[in-house]
């Protein structure tokens, strides 16, 4: 439960998901069709009245945040977001990075069967959930919320 709280507190601070950065494909594999609810979302998009091939519907659902958001898909937690690349390089250790099992069918996505997972390393390995804030998370927080000494008069500061 604590890692989830840390992750959600990151959102409160203004952090986005690390795995939604526009450069994420250089660092992880996103297997869109392994996200729980993919088939239902694809069917919903295919019957939305827009003339789409299955491939185009898949591409929109897996890569376009507006499409995923408009149909209420859980894929919205994975697709690229335009504002996700705020600080530094990709941080594989960020508490804001989903582990492989995030939004997966837990029967198909396990450390021994990472091919059933929505997110893996580039070489197809399982990504463990993050249990703590990374050094990159801490640095980003310092950049977003820099500490400044209070502007107190001299005597109150011990002078």
Asked whether residue 7 is marked as a ligand-binding residue, the answer is yes
Q: How far apart are CA 50 and CA 145, in angstroms?
A: 44
- Has 8 been annotated as catalytic? yes
Q: How far apart are CA 111 and CA 51, in angstroms?
A: 39
Residue for token pair 């789409």: 52
Q: How far apart are CA 1 and CA 131, in angstroms?
A: 10
Asked whether residue 17 is marked as a ligand-binding residue, the answer is yes
Q: How far apart are CA 146 and CA 8, in angstroms?
A: 21
* Helix/strand/coil for 9: helix
Q: Which residues are catalytic?
A: 8
């Amino acid at each position: 439960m604590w890692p989830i709280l840390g992750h959600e507190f990151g959102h409160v601070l203004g952090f986005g998901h690390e795995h939604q950065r526009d450069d994420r494909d250089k660092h992880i594999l996103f297997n869109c069709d392994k996200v729980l609810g993919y088939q239902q979302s694809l069917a919903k998009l295919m019957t939305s009245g827009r003339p789409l091939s299955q491939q185009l519907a898949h591409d929109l659902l897996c890569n376009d945040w507006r499409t995923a958001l408009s149909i209420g898909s859980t894929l919205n937690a994975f697709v690229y977001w335009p504002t996700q690349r705020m600080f530094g390089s990709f941080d594989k250790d960020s508490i804001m990075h989903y582990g492989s099992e995030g939004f997966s069918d837990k029967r198909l996505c396990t450390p021994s069967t990472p091919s059933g997972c929505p997110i893996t390393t580039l070489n197809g390995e399982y990504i463990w959930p993050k249990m703590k804030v990374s050094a990159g998370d801490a640095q980003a927080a310092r950049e977003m919320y820099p500490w400044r000494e209070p502007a107190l008069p001299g005597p109150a500061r011990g002078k």
